[in-house]
Structure 1
Amino acid sequence: MLGNVDYTNGSGDFFGFVTFTFADGSKLATRMTAGKAKTDTASATFTSPLSVIGGTGSYTNARGYGRFTGERKDQLGGQVEAHFDLKVTT
């Protein structure tokens, strides 16, 4: 995951890219846009639409969309539990 954030007091917008690599070496690239992070000082939730922007191997002609959701239960900078729900066609 490669991301960019624009937070004020730990909340705000983010965007970025996530590349999934599969056992056969195929890759699927996605973009997160218009993401939002909401937080208090001890935890945060994240949500963003995803769009498939490319792929290799089995995913060379992939198209699709989905949603990223995540949760951080620690202070800013702590570990994030991430979930990706994608609908992909090849």
Structure 2
Amino acid sequence: MGKTLIEIDEDALAVAQDAFGTKTKKDTVNRALREVSDRVKRHEARMAAERLAAEALNLAALTDKAAYRPSHGGADDQEHVA
């Protein structure tokens, strides 16, 4: 872990400390960074899952009745009737 000198909004820090239950600036900042990182990773995973689902589930094919209903009166139907 690197050491960095930064200016911090003390009001925002106090709110974050209350929310996280942290005592030190270091713990609060590191917790906030982890929270954002985890949120980004969850969002990326959800978007990847949605892409996979969209590729696997072709709604247009499912709503096309001709794709799953047998045809009536076609040449194939007459072969099976005999």
TM-score range relative to shorter protein: under 0.3
Q: Normalising by structure 2, what TM-score?
A: 0.17
Q: Compare the two structures and name the one with the higher helix fraction.
A: 2
Relative contact order (alpha carbons < 8 A, sep ≥ 6): 1 or 2 greater? 1
TM-score scaled by structure 1? 0.16
Task: Look at both structures and tell me which one has the larger radius of gyration over its CA atoms.
Answer: 2
